[in-house]
Amino acid sequence: METTNQVNNRGVCLWLTGLSGAGKTTISIPLVEKLREMGCKAQRLDGDVVREKLTPDLGFTKEDRDKNIERVTFVAELLVRHGVVTVCAFISPYRAVRQYVRKETGKFVEVFVKCPLEVCEDRDVKGMYAKARTGEIKNFTGISDPYEEPENAEIVVDTSKMTLEKEVDTIIDYLRENEYIF
């Protein structure tokens, strides 16, 4: 019996950016699951996992954050070139670095995972925001380091107002409408 593995997508870098606790990882997991159920080649690159496995040598200075994203971009571009919907969940606080990713990957969709700082702090089970506010953690995005909100993100999901299901559906709808998935 012959089987075909039809792929129902084109390669694209789907870049989820937002504050710590905004919901990037929370969205990326069911998003990738749903894409795979639809017959798409999809892969998730998550900030916490990448920092542990690919960039453990880097800290959180601006230079180290930029180097982290540079390495992730290399991996994302390879995946995109091989037809994979690559879902990247990174704080990536600087606009210039996100522009770099856009340029390098070629096919890029910026998803602003919007959430008020107070809500992110309320969600913080690790207490990182509290540690940042006391100075225990340096260079913490949103507290002692800036987060430059996207000015023209293709997709904006406000996790303080939307359900997870609606957030995932909003992204899937965009991918369909723009013929990244079919």
Which pLDDT score, from 0 to 100, does residue 48 have? 83
The stretch 25-32 carries a mean pLDDT of 98
Instruction: Assign 5 a pLDDT band (cuts: 50, 70, 90).
Output: low
Ordered domains of the chain (ranges, CATH):
12-176 (3.40.50.300)
d(CA 181, CA 87): 13
* Lowest-confidence pick of 27-36, 59-68, 158-167: 59-68
Query: Please, what is the average pLDDT of the chain?
Result: 94
Query: What is the three-class DSSP state of 111?
Result: strand
Q: What is the pLDDT of residues 133-142, one digit of tens each?
A: 999 999 999 9
Interval 34-41 mean pLDDT? 96
Over the stretch 55-103, which tens digit does the pLDDT of each residue have? 889 988 889 989 999 999 999 999 999 999 999 999 999 999 999 999 9
From 20, 28, 92, 144, active-site residue: 92
Question: Nearest to residue 19, comparing CAs of 150, 133, 172, 136?
Answer: 150
Give per-residue burial for 120-130: e unless 16+ CB within 10 Å, then b.
Answer: bbebeeeebbe
Residue 144 a catalytic site member? no
Q: Is the pLDDT of residue 120 over 90?
A: yes
Average pLDDT on 27-35 reads 98
Encoding tokens for residue 83? 């037809």
